[in-house]
Amino acid sequence: MKRIPALRSAICSACGHNVAVPFLDSPSQPLATLAWPSSAEIARNLPKLPLDFVRCVDCGHIFNMAFEYDEVPYSEKPNLMFNSGAIWSEFIQGVRRAMLDRLPEQPVVVEVGHGDGSFLAALAEGRPAGRYIGFDPNGSLHCSPRIELRRELFDTAQLAELKPDLIVSRHVLEHLVNPLGFLQRVSFAAECLGQRPLTYLETPCIDNALTTGRTVDFYYEHSSHFTTQSFSRMLSRCGADVLEVGHGYGGEVVYGFIVLGAPDAAVATAHAAGAFREQAEAALDTIQGQLAALHDSGQTVAIWGGTGKSAAFICRYGVDALRFPIVVDSDVKKIGTFVAGSGQEIRFRDWLLDHPAEVIIIPPQWRAADIVEEMAKTGIVAEKVLIEHDSRLIDFHLAVHPYRLA
């Protein structure tokens, strides 16, 4: 018999999909890698943190819905990954060679999640003329004089300063609340700066755990668990050019070489948003000045509409009840209520028949033609009807605008 699985509303941290299903029921546990208790008593009394692992039905990503980044003391204790095995070392050497094959003679290399600095130092040995910067709030100083350690989180602002040829992030994404968001921000910022840095990303791969039924992989510090599919989907969603996705260490690691960037349309949208914001800031000053001039002129002013767009207009431009007490509306259900935020009582439109206003402001421009027609039918007369257009208040009847119906 067909049935709907138990569904969880959760935004996938790898692909952004909004439907997940319960994956692993596990009792709360203390930190597994960063607690470092100094006595048995402290160890037994460590706070236990919730494990609520769900799986995205779209990309297969597994993540802890209950994860809180602030519960993990990354800024106090380093997250060091120890593996001195020969097979692991062979994999790391292969990654290093693949990077060096792609780098110029004097590269700028940024490592996000510096750790003990050994990987970055190994790269510096291969290209000694380069510049090597590691970002980690608790990274360890390395003996290599070529490495610059910055004990801080990497941010998009560093792209403009450093102009990296290569960004390396190994075993960091699985610790983030929103790894997709992090990659999208960095990729978009690089595109805005006209940069196309090569980027290497590496995380544990959970494919083998799923196949063999392992459960010990799932602990609090790793909020995200990538399958090959979810890792690849994340890379495709961050706007970058994916050059290679591969595996290492018997499939326990998945990695990707990408070139950061974003679609031109995304950058255009951002610039359009910025232009609108600047225009809106200019409109705020202009329209507040016009409203002050109207009040100073002594003319009687009425606002048509007391909720929705009209209420938004009143709040945005500071149309206070002391200077502009008259608010009317066509909807009898709103009569006797008050404008949210400013407090004017909302009167029925016909109040203007006995208390005419010299100026009527209609905030919902798209309804202005209907309201002007309604005024004519009910005998409501005003010297001016004003609407907001092109960052200022204009005369509905005399000015050129798109809201006058044919």
Nearest to 58 by CA among 99, 113, 14: 14
Residue 109 is predicted with a pLDDT of 97
Residue 17 has pLDDT above 60, yes or no: yes
Average pLDDT over residues 8-32: 93
CATH of 86-262, one of 3.40.50.150, 3.40.50.300, 3.30.2130.10, 3.40.50.1370: 3.40.50.150
3-state secondary structure of 383: coil
Average pLDDT, the chain: 93
Nearest to 109 by CA among 93, 122, 91: 122
Tens-place pLDDT, residues 151-164: 899 999 999 999 99
E strand spans, 61-154: 62-64, 108-112, 131-135, 147-150
Tens-place pLDDT, residues 329-341: 999 999 999 999 9
Average pLDDT over residues 343-349: 98
Tokens 């840095």 map to which residue? Answer: 197
Give the C-alpha separation, 82 to 279, whole Å.
54
Strongest mean pLDDT among 24-33, 83-92, 303-312: 303-312
When pLDDT is cut at 50, 70 and 90, the band that residue 16 belongs to is very high
CA-based diameter of the chain, in Å? Answer: 93
When pLDDT is cut at 50, 70 and 90, the band that residue 22 belongs to is very high
Give the C-alpha separation, 263 to 258, whole Å.
15
Range with the lowest mean pLDDT among 137-151, 190-204, 209-223, 332-346?
A: 137-151
Domain 86-262 and domain 267-395 have a common topology: yes
Residue 300 has pLDDT above 60, yes or no: yes
Average pLDDT over residues 98-107: 96
Residue 85 has pLDDT above 90, yes or no: no
Tens-place pLDDT, residues 260-296: 999 999 999 999 999 999 999 999 999 999 999 999 9
When pLDDT is cut at 50, 70 and 90, the band that residue 253 belongs to is very high
Residue type, 14: A
Residue 142 is predicted with a pLDDT of 66
Residue 79 is predicted with a pLDDT of 54
Residue 69 is predicted with a pLDDT of 87
Residue 83 is predicted with a pLDDT of 58
Residue 174 has pLDDT above 90, yes or no: yes
Token couple for 145: 């004089």
Residue 62 has pLDDT above 70, yes or no: yes
Nearest to 218 by CA among 33, 57, 78: 33
Per-residue DSSP letter, 48 = P
When pLDDT is cut at 50, 70 and 90, the band that residue 25 belongs to is confident
Q: Domain-by-domain residue ranges, the chain?
A: 8-71, 86-262, 267-395
CATH superfamily of 267-395: NAD(P)-binding Rossmann-like Domain (3.40.50.720)
- Side-by-side strand order, sheet with 62-64: 8-9, 19-25, 52-56, 62-64, 224-225
Residue 143 has pLDDT above 80, yes or no: no
Cα angle for residues 81, 83, 88 (degrees, 5° grid): 120
